[in-house]
Structure 1
Amino acid sequence: MFIFFSGTYVSSIVFFFPTNNFTNRHNWVWSLCAVFGQNSDETRPFYQCNFKIRLFRFVHKFGHPILQILPEECDLLCTHPMFGPESGKDGWTDLTFMYDMVRIRDQHLCSSFLQIFSTEGCKMLEMTCEEHDRLAARSQFLTHTIGRILVEMEVESTPIDTKGFQKLVQVKESSAKDSFDLFSGLFIHNRFARQQMKNLEVAIEKLQERSKELQDPIISKL
């Protein structure tokens, strides 16, 4: 989906889907919301169009290679709203909006764009894409992984649920609402995610070993 901002207010956003008529517009702000796994060849022609493009919006470290093909006059802003349809359905107050001003020369335009989210109450957090990906692997990806494991285990509520288990069920249900493409994208496109997966496997193996060590003396006494 390509989003054209003709001004600095949400009310002046025009959505283009499909993108047939997009190339005929003179755009100040172009928000390219890339889907995980999307073929870069599908979007490459748009990077090189002779538009009045001043600002890009992208997610994850995937945005940095775009600098190699973007025209010099284009600014690049990488962002990641750390919320979705479920967590943001009642408003964006206190929800984190991460951004990285990779190449920004038009500070006024960039600030106007970010103000859309800060005005809605988002907690604005500036950090590099590299740091974002590292932290996201330890939080967002790990949460989705645990949720997917619980989905595969077909975990359900019971009459004797503890508070801790109720939270696990919530994680499972939240993960089940997201597509598997999201999970695979978090794994494939974040190089830190692979290490987190290995850490999880090692942790499970350690728990199994410790349980076996405690179990063996008991069994030997039987």
Structure 2
Amino acid sequence: MEAVRLQGARVLRDAQGGDARALLGSRGSSSSSSSSSSSSTSGRVRLPLRRSKSRLSVVALDAAQPFDYESRRMEQMHKESKLKVGIVGFGNFGQFLAQRIVKQGHAVLAHSRSDYSSLCDEMGVSFFRDVDDFCEEHPDVVLLSTSILSTEAVLRSLPLQRLKRSTLFVDVLSVKEFPKTLFQQVLPAEFDILCTHPMFGPESGRGSWNSLPLVYDKVRVGSGVRDERCQRFLEIFEREGCRMVEMSCAEHDRFAASSQFITHTVGRMLGKLELESTPINTKGYETLLDLVQNTQGDSFDLYYGLFMYNINATEELERLELAFDALKKQLFGKLHNVLRKQLFDVGSAATNHAVAVASTAATVAASDKISNGSGVAASEKISNGSAVSQLTLVSTVEEAQGHQ
């Protein structure tokens, strides 16, 4: 290689000396030439020059060779930038994540109770039925994609001793304090912990992840190459366009209770009403139907997990009930005021007082009937409450007018 470089440099030097078409003669031509003169000062033998009509073309023979140090180093750096990600739990969400991870060139392993061998072959994922074989592949990242209710059992069933001591564990649960505490209790101190929550799923993230939020908390991540590995995993979501939100697990759960849990609660309440599409749907009603579809598409275990494993969920449920009760009272209060003005001609102070008392009593009775009624559909309770209120109001007013 060095000899080739020296020969190229010598040709370039001769070309710069004024003869751009100079070519080195072959060994045969040098032996047959007797007219070349020797230099008395340098002792070098100058080879005869051949004139050529074509221009000199210099080719770098050592460029982009497979044995070149730079190409070997680039290939090594490319391999080091790719992760081996092991996904435990290859259901809908695990498959959803694996598609994007494989697309970015990372190696993906999978382990699950069900047999997904055929699907994994199509996706370019290595599937392992045996969890010991899975762990002996030494993935850089172990990604738990299980339900909230089964997370602890799955984590404790993993043969952690077969993994590399610096393995990065990642969860994607909808609650964060619970997996954080669980990981810290079960995993050895040498393992890194990253808690994440992609705030989207197979439905909302079907086409693109652009601008969809990913919440994460580096609970326990070592320095140097271990921090670089954690960052490379987060870059999977960054390259898909996610909005990266670094937030503590406690803060996440507080926000999620007043957003995600309320959303699922309202969607499931509307689902109980068995809403149907109509020929005169408004955009608002279409939004409600979409909400029902999205929330009902998730398992009840997911919804129960949002309630059970988020300490803030109970408070939000109580606030929702209080808000609904206040709204009912406001509706019935307005209803009786309208009835009093439209149906009756109230002329005396005694009648005014009687109507006001009747209105208040009817409102309270109707609200209590709605709140305490058991085994009656919501629509029936509201209708019965309204009818009782109106009859009570009418009889009270008639009685007041009869005494005048």
Give TM-score, length-normalised by structure 2: 0.51
SS for the counterpart of 1:15 is strand
- Unaligned stretches of 5+ residues in structure 1: none
Whether 1:32 and 2:134 are equivalent positions in the alignment is: no
The one-letter code matched in structure 2 to 1:80 is: H
Whether 1:197 and 2:317 are equivalent positions in the alignment is: yes
Q: What displacement does 1:138 show?
A: 1.2
1:131 corresponding residue in structure 2: 251
2:170 corresponding residue in structure 1: 57
2:107 corresponding residue in structure 1: 12
The one-letter code matched in structure 1 to 2:140 is: W
Question: Which of 280, 304, 308 matches 1:184?
Answer: 304
The one-letter code matched in structure 2 to 1:192 is: N
Contact 1:56 1:76 (8 Å CA) reproduced: yes
Contact 2:196 2:215 (8 Å CA) reproduced: yes
Percent identical residues: 39
Output aligned runs, 1:42-53, within 5 Å.
Answer: 42-46=154-158, 48-52=160-164, 53=166
Q: Residues of 2 paired with 1:86 and 1:27: CA distance?
A: 28
Question: Which of 230, 245, 269 matches 1:110?
Answer: 230
Q: Residues of 1 paired with 2:291 and 2:236: CA distance?
A: 29
Q: Deviations over 1:19-72 (max 9, x none)?
A: 512232323211122312116234214274342142111232122222122111
2:197 corresponding residue in structure 1: 80
Q: In the comparison of the two structures, how many residue pairs are matched?
A: 219
Q: Residues of 2 paired with 1:71 and 1:154: CA distance?
A: 49
Q: Residues of 1 paired with 2:158 and 2:88: CA distance?
A: 10
1:212 corresponding residue in structure 2: 332
Q: Which has the higher contact order (CA 8 A, sep 6+)?
A: 1
Contact 1:94 1:121 (8 Å CA) reproduced: yes
Question: Which of 171, 184, 203 matches 1:67?
Answer: 184
Q: Residues of 2 paired with 1:95 and 1:23: CA distance?
A: 32
- Unaligned stretches of 5+ residues in structure 2: 1-86, 90-97, 114-128, 344-404
Q: What displacement does 1:219 show?
A: 3.4
Q: What displacement does 1:81 show?
A: 0.6
- Give the number of the structure whose alpha-carbon radius of gyration is greater: 2
Question: Which of 23, 27, 39 matches 2:135?
Answer: 23
SS for the counterpart of 1:191 is coil
Backbone CA RMSD of aligned residues: 2.1
Q: Relative to total residues, which structure has the larger strand share, 1 or 2?
A: 1
Give TM-score, length-normalised by structure 1: 0.90
The one-letter code matched in structure 1 to 2:206 is: K
Q: Residues of 2 paired with 1:217 and 1:147: CA distance?
A: 32
The one-letter code matched in structure 2 to 1:216 is: H
Q: What displacement does 1:13 show?
A: 1.2
Q: Deviations over 1:171-222 (max 9, x none)?
A: 1121122222221111111111111111111111001111121122333453
Q: Residues of 2 paired with 1:177 and 1:151: CA distance?
A: 11
